[in-house]
Chain A
Amino acid sequence: MRLLALMLASLSSGAALAGDSASGELRVRWDAREANTASLAPATPSSASLEAELRGTWHAPVKALSASANVLLGAEHPEGGATRSLTRANELYGSADFGSWQMSAGKKIVGWDVGCGFRPNDFVQQEERRTLLTVTPEGRPLLQLEHFGAEDAASLLWVNPQRTQDDDDAQRGARESALAARWYRRSGALDGYLFGRWGQHTHASLGAAVAWVAGDELELHASARVLQRHDGWAMRSGPLLTSANPWQQAALGGTGQWLLGASWTGQRQQSLLVEFWHDGTTLSDDDWDGWHTRNAALAALVGPPPRAIAGNLAWQATPFLSSSLRRDNLFVRAAWQPEHWLLSLDALVTPADRGHAITAAVQWQGDRLKLNAALRVYGGPADALMSRLPQRRVGVIAATWAF
């Protein structure tokens, strides 16, 4: 607590300096999770957490140089478990400003691409999407060089440069050491992007995206990416009953991802977002059919100890950790923003098995206090993946005090 008070005092005094900025948030939240009796794996327990997020940018006497930080101090207490620390640096980096050329080094959030529910070309951050409560993600270690023209911009990054000596298993997903580049150009109402990435073990991927304001109320966006190789869940071959989780992350072959989306915003502060995407990095329909078959075979086993069977069934929940469960996804979100309020209702639907996740959320924003509540219900036919998740319903209540 004393450390927090010291940091707040330091932020307050820092804010007085010309050109510097400092701000922060105190947040208390309760995450409730209702277990799904039809699931293969136990649900994550409900939890309460208290967090302080402190942000600041400080400019050196030589104005070209600056340092930025976003630090999260906090702890989470799960029901029936031990309290764990949430403390981390979301961002901690230095920047050099040479006018149209800009450089940064350190841990930094770099968000790319145009989608809302899914972003194929979010090469660096690979931010978790469709969370119940929007919180600042943890940045990635990187070196960044950028150039800004009047109508275009180019970025070149080396993300996770400290991981070049690590083996592949330590470099899965966003932890992979990679070179990434983005070129941007605007042409009137159209924003165009080209992306390129070279990962140490996933090798090349190329992407493109556009966002087009088609009218006063309508925006259309699209994004696509082709990958030479990708990290995904694969099951080791072996006997039906095993003593280790057969599902492991592995470097798999080439595939593609794409997204089409449209958003409409009316004059009465109402909006509608529709997105459809294909994620070739997740398990195919055939893979999931095999998954169902394996579940049935494990459940029908007679002879082995029940705990061993239950453990193997629980491992079957491992591929639920993918960013998309099914390759094809439809996301629809309606929102209304009257005055201090933001009310939203969204649905994620997987047409392959008619599974769905429906989320209702409400936010109230005052001068400093923000209150959030959200509830998500997973459902669909009995064999839909959404019906087999560890949680049937998840909810969050949060209060945030900004300073």
Chain B
Amino acid sequence: MKTWMLMLALLASAAHADEVAQLLKAADAYRTGAENLQVETQVSVLNRDGSPDKERRYTVFAQAQHKSLVLMRSPAEAGQKVLMLGDDFWLLMPGSQRPLRITPSQKLLGDASTGDIATMSWSEDYAGTVVGEDKCDAQPCLHLSLNATRKGVSYQRIELWLGKARHEPIKADLYVQSDKLAKQARFVFDKPAAPTTVTEMVLLDQLSNHKETRVRYVSRSPKAVPEAWLNPMFLARNPALD
């Protein structure tokens, strides 16, 4: 009898995990749309009083298997590059032309967390449970509690709310390794009534400066980069981007 109960519990757990995975894949589709992408991103940081603080532009090559290449395009950072291969990170500063191994903590230094810009997918990095149904601005939504399945991600825990009908991401609470609430995110869509794509992610800092960061996805297009581009030593080269 005990064996049967254990098997039923395992089956229920597996079905539950499968349901969460399907929900996350559906939510990811609003942010990515393809496995290998080139995304032009504009990041605007606003002070607490709403005045503009700074603006940055990035070209992100988000590739399958947790591989991302971020090219800094703003005048203040022109030539800087960050490569993320799973849990491993490298930085290139333009003056030295010397790719430099960096720690996950170093990845968080600077204006915007590179993870916020380069990470486009939850389904590959998180697993968790459906906490239950909730209300998101009068709209019925599902509350998911997610934990990272690998250590290289910027946020170890995410509380995520998805639209109940379409499973589009509505908002998220992002927790760092120490389980402190680091940022609160909300998502802006192209067509609020019938959303197809996230056009902007708005992050409100809860840890230090309480500034608002708007990550605007200017364009997305499918792009699989050559394997050589994802070699850390290749950061010193300047290939044609299209």
Contacts from A to B (Cβ < 8 Å): 18-19, 21, 23, 55, 57, 59, 63, 66, 68, 95, 97, 99-100, 102, 108-114, 125, 127, 134-137, 146, 148-153, 155, 184, 186, 188-189, 191, 211, 213, 215-219, 221, 263, 265-269, 271, 337-340, 365-368, 370, 402-403
Q: Kindly state the separation between the CA atoms of A18 and B96 in the bound complex, as whole angstroms.
A: 25
Nearest A-chain residue to B73, judged by Cβ: A21
The residues of B that contact A263 with a CB separation of less than 8 Å are 103
Determine if B226 and A266 form an interchain contact, defined as CB atoms under 8 angstroms apart: no
Question: Is the contact region of chain A dominated by helix, strand, or loop, or is it mixed?
Answer: loop
B50 part of interface (Cβ distance < 8 Å): no
Q: Kindly state the separation between the CA atoms of A339 and B237 in the bound complex, as whole angstroms.
A: 30
Determine if A265 and B105 form an interchain contact, defined as CB atoms under 8 angstroms apart: yes
- B110: contacting residue among A112, A149, A337, CB under 8 A: A337
The residues of B that contact A114 with a CB separation of less than 8 Å are 100-101
The residues of B that contact A269 with a CB separation of less than 8 Å are 108-109
Determine if B231 and A219 form an interchain contact, defined as CB atoms under 8 angstroms apart: no
Assuming the contacts A66-B240, A148-B231, asked whether A339 and B105 have C-beta atoms less than 8 A apart, the reply is no
- A267: contacting residue among B88, B94, B105, B226, CB under 8 A: B105
Per-residue CB contact flags for chain B residues 207-242 toward chain A (1 = under 8 Å, else 0) read: 011000000000000000011101111101111111
The residues of A that contact B75 with a CB separation of less than 8 Å are 23, 367-368, 402-403
Q: Kindly state the separation between the CA atoms of A25 and B40 in the bound complex, as whole angstroms.
A: 23
Determine if A153 and B231 form an interchain contact, defined as CB atoms under 8 angstroms apart: yes
Assuming the contacts A137-B95, A216-B177, asked whether A19 and B240 have C-beta atoms less than 8 A apart, the reply is yes
B46 part of interface (Cβ distance < 8 Å): no
Determine if B105 and A217 form an interchain contact, defined as CB atoms under 8 angstroms apart: yes
A158 to chain B, nearest CB (A): 18
B13 part of interface (Cβ distance < 8 Å): no
Determine if A97 and B95 form an interchain contact, defined as CB atoms under 8 angstroms apart: no
- B76: contacting residue among A19, A137, A191, A368, CB under 8 A: A368
A263 to chain B, nearest CB (A): 8
B17 part of interface (Cβ distance < 8 Å): no
B106 part of interface (Cβ distance < 8 Å): yes
Task: Knowing that A19-B241, A23-B75, A268-B208 touch, tell me 7 more A-B residue pairs with CB under 8 angstroms.
Answer: A97-B237, A136-B94, A146-B233, A189-B87, A267-B105, A338-B208, A370-B76
Question: Is the contact region of chain B dominated by helix, strand, or loop, or is it mixed?
Answer: loop
The residues of A that contact B3 with a CB separation of less than 8 Å are none
B149 part of interface (Cβ distance < 8 Å): no
A134 to chain B, nearest CB (A): 6
The residues of A that contact B110 with a CB separation of less than 8 Å are 337
Determine if A149 and B231 form an interchain contact, defined as CB atoms under 8 angstroms apart: yes
The residues of A that contact B108 with a CB separation of less than 8 Å are 267, 269
Determine if A184 and B233 form an interchain contact, defined as CB atoms under 8 angstroms apart: yes
A213 to chain B, nearest CB (A): 5
A168 to chain B, nearest CB (A): 28
Q: Kindly state the separation between the CA atoms of A209 and B235 in the bound complex, as whole angstroms.
A: 19
Determine if A188 and B98 form an interchain contact, defined as CB atoms under 8 angstroms apart: no
A89 to chain B, nearest CB (A): 15
Determine if A66 and B105 form an interchain contact, defined as CB atoms under 8 angstroms apart: no
Determine if B103 and A188 form an interchain contact, defined as CB atoms under 8 angstroms apart: no
Assuming the contacts A19-B242, A189-B88, asked whether A213 and B101 have C-beta atoms less than 8 A apart, the reply is yes
Determine if B231 and A150 form an interchain contact, defined as CB atoms under 8 angstroms apart: yes
Assuming the contacts A137-B95, A186-B88, A269-B109, asked whether A367 and B74 have C-beta atoms less than 8 A apart, the reply is yes
Assuming the contacts A55-B94, A186-B88, asked whether A266 and B105 have C-beta atoms less than 8 A apart, the reply is yes
Determine if B238 and A215 form an interchain contact, defined as CB atoms under 8 angstroms apart: no
B151 part of interface (Cβ distance < 8 Å): yes
B176 part of interface (Cβ distance < 8 Å): yes
